[in-house]
Every structure is written in structure tokens, then in C-alpha cells.
Amino acid sequence: MKNTAKNNIRTLLLASVACVGLTNGPMLSAQEILPVPARPRTGLSAAAAPASVDPGSLGSLALVNEGARLLAAGETGEAEAILGRAVVENPESPEAMYNFGLALGFNSKFAEAINAQLKAIELKAQFPEAYLALGNMYLALDENEQALSAFEQAHALAHNEHVRRSALFNKGTVLSKLGRFLEAEMALSECLAVDPTDTAPAFALANLHMRQGNYEMALGWLDSVSSDYQLETSFLRCRLQLKLKDREAASKAFGEAGKALKESKNLDQEHRVELTRALEEMAKELSELK
């Protein structure tokens, strides 16, 4: 959840702070939705695929599990090829179709990924992971109503905490995009209640209240966000203090944002450029405050 949430809240941050035309869809990574290994039919057994294996020597069940392993390792191109073979060899396997859909989605083939997840659900109606993945694909294409429906199904069918929290977080994200702020707040609050130690929903709630002009309330939510999101919170705090025209507090937050950006080691170049631009814009606003 934390990897997923960090990607999602970084997208929220860039949309709200950088003030540029960025996509609000999910930034997909192999950690975002968990691959599901295939299970042998009753009475059969299958050994787990080894770490290094010749795909040509694998049966369909082992192909699914090897593909799931590759997805978990972030090897999405190789995973797509292996899982493509798996669905050809065993087109009735919902796990094969689901994992193939994940690989397609991680490789930005969203329309094909949607078809794969719909097929997985057709093969296995009680498949919350597939609904969660389907929702993310629709969200990536800005098909928000379809995404919402999928996330609601994922939440209703959730059989573990990861799926439940992810469905609630993403439901809150899409409700916010649809301007249904009260419902978004309820979903994000429920997500936070499931695991109060993961404060990504608190950041999303701060962003939600900022969009509504509730700046003081947004600051209150930021105070409960953990240090895991120091970069994101420092930028949003500066933006909020600028909105409140509190020069002293905004100046302090601006310094913290600049320091956090400088010390951030794992930020990709695209986001660094956008946040640097946002910092320059905030510096201009700060200079105009009396």
C-alpha cells in the first residue's frame, strides 16, 4: 500500500502544487497491485518456478507463477511475454488472465489490460484484485465513473486488508476527481481507519480540503502525515500558507520544501523538474506577500 499510495499522492501533489497540466491517473508500477499466483487443481501439485528458468520448459501453471514472480520483481516486459503464453495455453485460468492484464497495464497498454481484466472477472466473478486492477486501468484513461464502479466492487469483495485499503484509497481519489468531495472524504477517512499507521490517506484528505478552500483544515490533516511523505507535505504546506497569506509561515515552509527536494534521492527526473518549477512559482508568490 505504501508504494502505491506514495505514487498516488505524488500525483496529487504535482496536480495541486505544480499547477501544470499533468495527468491525474495512477502512475503504475509493479508494486501497485499484487500479482496472484495460480493454484493447481484439486489433487494436483506444482512446484514453484525457480528464480531463473527457461520459459520454454514451463507448463501453463508454472508460466503463470513465473509471470507473477517477474511482475513482483518489476520485470514487466518479460512478464508480459510469459503471461501471454500462459493465457494461450490455458485461456480458462483467471489468474493467468489477471496477471497478463497487470503486465499489459504496467506497460501502458490500458485498453488491452481492461479487456484482460474483464475476461478474468468473467472467469472468476469473486475476484477483487481484478476489479481493483480494472479500476486503475479506467482511471488511467480518465474513465472515472467506470473506475468508481470497479473500486466499489473491489471493496465489496475484498478478502484482505491490502485490497480493502487500496480500493478505498482509489475510490477516494476518483470521487475527488468527480467533485464528490464529501463521499471522497468518507472513503479516505475509512481507509485511514483501517490502518492509522499508513498516513497516505491523511495527505489525500489535506489535498481534498485545499481544493475546497478549507486551508486551515488542510493544514490540520498535514500535521498527522508521517515523515514518509516529507517532500510532499512540505510543498503542500507552503502552498497552503501562501493561500492563507501568512508570510512568516510560508517562508518557513518554503525553506523546508527546498531542503526536502534537494535531499530527495529517489525522485525521478520528470518529477524533480516539475517540483523545481513549482518551487520557483512559490518563490515568486512569496516575494509578492507583504
DSSP the chain: -HHHHHHHHHHHHHHHTS-S----S----TTTS------PPTT---PPPPSS--GGG--HHHHHHHHHHHHHTT-HHHHHHHHHHHHHH-TT-HHHHHHHHHHHHHTT-HHHHHHHHHHHHHH-SS-HHHHHHHHHHHHHTT-HHHHHHHHHHHHHH--SHHHHHHHHHHHHHHHHHTT-HHHHHHHHHHHHHH-TT--HHHHHHHHHHHHTT-HHHHHHHHTTS-GGGHHHHHHHHHHHHHHTT-HHHHHHHHHHHHHHHHH--S--HHHHHHHHHHHHHHHHHHHH--
262-285: average pLDDT: 91
Q: Are residues 121 and 211 in the same domain?
A: no
User: Which percentage of the chain shows pLDDT scores above 70?
Assistant: 79
Q: What is the pLDDT of residue 37?
A: 53
For residue 38, the model assigns a pLDDT of 52
- Residues 33 and 121 occupy one common structural domain: yes
Query: Residues 179-229: pLDDT tens digits?
Result: 999 999 999 999 999 999 888 999 999 999 999 999 999 999 999 987 888
Q: Which of the pair, 61 or 85, is modelled with greater confidence?
A: 85
Residues 30 and 4 in one domain: no
Q: Which residues of 230-244 are buried (b: 16+ CB within 10 A; e: fewer)?
A: bbbbbbbbbbbbbee
198 and 284 inside one domain: yes
Distance CA 205, CA 221 (A): 7
Per-residue confidence (pLDDT) for residue 64, from 0 to 100: 86
Query: In this predicted structure, what is the pLDDT of residue 61?
Result: 80
Is 163 a member of any domain?
A: no
Verify that 30 and 6 share a domain, yes or no. Answer: no
Q: Tell whether 109 and 195 lie within a shared domain.
A: no
Of 86, 118, 141, at which residue does a domain stop? 141
The pLDDT assigned to 261 comes to 92
Name the average pLDDT for the chain: 82
pTM of the full predicted structure?
0.79
Q: What is the mean pLDDT of residues 28-42?
A: 44
Domain termination residue (choose one: 90, 113, 141) = 141
State the pLDDT at residue 113.
95
Tell me the residue range of the domain where 126 lies.
26-41+54-141
State whether 31 and 137 are in the same domain: yes
pLDDT at 168 over 90: yes
| pLDDT > 70? residue 43 | no
Q: Are both 15 and 2 inside the same structural domain? A: yes
Number of domains composing the chain: 2
pLDDT single digits (tens) 234-254: 999 999 999 999 999 999 999
Q: Quick one: 248 and 197 in the same domain? A: yes
In a domain, 13, yes or no: yes
Whether 153 is in a domain gets the answer no
- Inform me whether the pLDDT recorded for 30 exceeds 90: no
Q: Are 83 and 64 within 8 A, CB to CB?
A: yes
